[in-house]
């Protein structure tokens, strides 16, 4: 029988900090804990005065504003000796070998980063806004005027009444143009830090950061922006890890009172594969739909693009009567409208003939109304393989040789244009490729067709063959 109770050992401050971390993990949730609490390290404790270090100033500032009281309460719960809390930025990363005050503290120099945030070292800041897509050359009308006004308002001042703007509408209605215009205005007029990312950029960079164990650096670079612009949000949906990171990013920008602009092809309530907390956050945004332009707006769009093209090449001039005829016959998105205009301008340039209403009617007739599309992806693959003299299996293969990759991109482009299949579905039919690969292929062919009349003719020929068959 023990004659006297064994005296209970006082926990070290290292143990107190470990218990505090566990308590905060339970209170805040794993996501918040991993982002903001886990990076903190215990540096020293003197007479109950606790000093923590954060690896970066951004983390220190955010924690000090949002979580310092929670940390203080947790420390007070774990130890009656706790007096005060101080959070510093660590010039070096501390490694505690034992209990603070009784064991020696050692330091390891922090490895220098290869590029500062915003310098483009990670690729996040590589994308420059398109100088041709500014507010000045955005043609407004009843279908998009409200969206334009909201976008301008958001850029007017740092404390604007719009901090979360959500633009949605079908492909080609001007959403990307407005995001470009916002980024241009913030960067050039005010010298602000506007980060413009497509959804696939966000996914690829984040997944790369996870694999490279650089998620903290990724978070810091994204959150260092004054305004974040995300295009094609719908492509993030369904990716649980990426959606979770997107929500953390959205919450961080909201807490910091910074601005976020999102573009998608549908309203927040219609997004698929999105958790309720993300949908709820998005439904709290200023949500604006862009729709098809009316005749007057279509005429204005065609006129603006025709004038710009004529400045570069006089042979591409299109008479006003022809532009009005196009606008009246084509009840489509601005992107499709401009596509037909470029087709007739290419005809005028190559043939050295004035564009006529007949030529426009022929270009319009080569299109297929959405309700009439009955062409299959498999048929597009067969015709494309025949045209480029390839084995059909090569379009499904992982081969990246130019003679195979370009026809594959053309087939993907036509599959998106001429069928109602989704991007993931098209990707599966091309050797189980990701939908971002399909999206990249479509954008690449669009860009090349604008710059290369020969490729545009090849694509147009295949389009006509498929429609006629």
- Domain coordinates in residue numbering, the chain: 13-109, 145-289, 295-365, 370-468
Q: What is the mean pLDDT of residues 154-166?
A: 78
Q: Which helix (H) or strand (E) holds 139?
A: none
Q: What is the mean pLDDT of residues 424-431?
A: 87
Give this prediction's pTM.
0.56
- Per-residue pLDDT band at 96 (split at 50, 70, 90): very low
Integer Rg of the chain from CA: 28
Highest mean pLDDT among 83-92, 159-168, 245-254: 245-254
Beta strands 92-96 and 105-109 are antiparallel
423 to 177, 390, 432, 437, 443: CA distances (angstroms): 22, 23, 11, 9, 13
* Strands of the 194-198 sheet, one edge to the other: 194-198, 227-231, 259-264, 164-168, 286-289
Q: What is the pLDDT of residue 366?
A: 62
The neighbouring-strand residues paired with 85 are: 50
20 to 41, 82, 104, 130, 366: CA distances (angstroms): 12, 12, 22, 49, 68
Which CATH number fits the domain 13-109, given the four candidates 3.40.50.720, 3.40.190.10, 3.30.300.180, 3.30.1330.20?
3.30.300.180
**CA dihedral angle for residue 154, residue 155, residue 157, residue 162, rounded to 10 degrees:** 10
Q: Is CATH 3.40.50.300 the classification given to domain 145-289?
A: yes
CATH architecture of the domain 370-468 equals Orthogonal Bundle (1.10)
Residue at token pair 């996501």 = 31
Contact between 387 and 462 under an 8 Å Cβ cutoff? The reply is: yes
Contact between 211 and 241 under an 8 Å Cβ cutoff? The reply is: no
Q: What is the pLDDT of residue 17?
A: 93
The closest alpha carbon to 171, from 237, 260, 233, 232, belongs to: 232
Q: Give yes or no on whether 13-109 and 370-468 have one common fold.
A: no
Q: What is the pLDDT of residue 357?
A: 82
Which tokens go with 457? 């003719």
- Is the CA virtual torsion 347, 292, 274, 65 positive or negative? positive
Q: What is the mean pLDDT of residues 2-18?
A: 72
**Contacts (Cβ under 8 Å, ≥6 apart) of 353:** 347, 359
186 to 129, 182, 298: CA distances (angstroms): 11, 6, 28
């Amino acid at each position: 029988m023990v004659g006297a109770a064994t005296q209970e050992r006082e926990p070290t401050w290292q143990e107190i900090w470990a218990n505090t971390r566990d308590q905060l993990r339970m209170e805040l949730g794993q996501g918040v804990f991993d982002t903001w609490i886990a990076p903190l390290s215990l540096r020293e404790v003197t007479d109950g005065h606790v000093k923590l270090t954060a690896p970066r100033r951004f983390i220190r500032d955010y924690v000090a504003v949002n979580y310092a009281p929670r940390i203080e309460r947790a420390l007070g719960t774990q130890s009656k000796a706790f007096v005060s809390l101080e959070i510093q930025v660590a010039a070096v990363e501390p490694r505690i070998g034992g209990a603070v005050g009784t064991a020696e503290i050692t330091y390891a120099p922090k490895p220098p980063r290869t590029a500062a945030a915003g310098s483009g070292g990670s690729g996040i800041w590589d994308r420059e806004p398109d100088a041709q897509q500014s507010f000045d050359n955005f043609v407004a009308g009843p279908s998009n005027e409200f969206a334009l006004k909201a976008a301008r308002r958001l850029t007017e001042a740092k404390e604007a009444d719009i901090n979360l703007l959500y633009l949605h509408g079908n492909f080609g209605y001007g959403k990307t143009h407005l995001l470009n215009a916002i980024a241009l205005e913030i960067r050039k007029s005010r010298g602000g830090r506007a980060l413009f990312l497509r959804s696939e950029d966000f996914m690829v960079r984040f997944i790369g950061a996870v694999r490279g164990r650089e998620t903290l650096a990724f978070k810091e670079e994204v959150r260092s922006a004054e305004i974040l612009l995300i295009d094609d949000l719908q492509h993030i949906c369904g990716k649980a890890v990426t959606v979770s990171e997107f929500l953390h990013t959205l919450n961080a920008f909201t807490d910091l009172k910074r601005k976020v602009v999102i573009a998608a092809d549908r309203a927040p309530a219609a997004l698929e594969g999105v958790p309720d907390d993300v949908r709820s956050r998005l439904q709290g945004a200023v949500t604006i739909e862009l729709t098809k332009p009316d005749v007057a707006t279509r005429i204005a769009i065609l006129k603006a693009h025709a004038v710009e093209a004529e400045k570069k090449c006089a042979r591409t001039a299109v008479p006003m009567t022809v532009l009005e005829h196009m606008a009246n016959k084509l009840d489509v998105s601005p992107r499709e409208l401009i596509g037909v205009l470029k087709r007739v301008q290419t005809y005028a340039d190559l043939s050295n003939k004035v564009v006529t209403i007949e030529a426009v009617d022929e270009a319009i007739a080569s299109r297929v109304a959405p309700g009439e599309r009955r062409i299959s992806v498999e048929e597009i693959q067969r015709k494309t393989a025949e045209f480029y003299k390839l084995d059909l299996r090569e379009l499904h293969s992982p081969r990246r040789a130019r003679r195979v990759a370009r026809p594959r991109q053309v087939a993907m482009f036509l599959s998106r244009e001429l069928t109602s299949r989704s991007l993931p579905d098209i990707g599966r039919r091309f050797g189980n490729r990701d939908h971002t690969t399909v999206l990249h292929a479509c954008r690449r062919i669009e860009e090349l067709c604008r710059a290369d009349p020969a490729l545009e003719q090849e694509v147009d020929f295949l389009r006509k063959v498929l429609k006629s068959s």
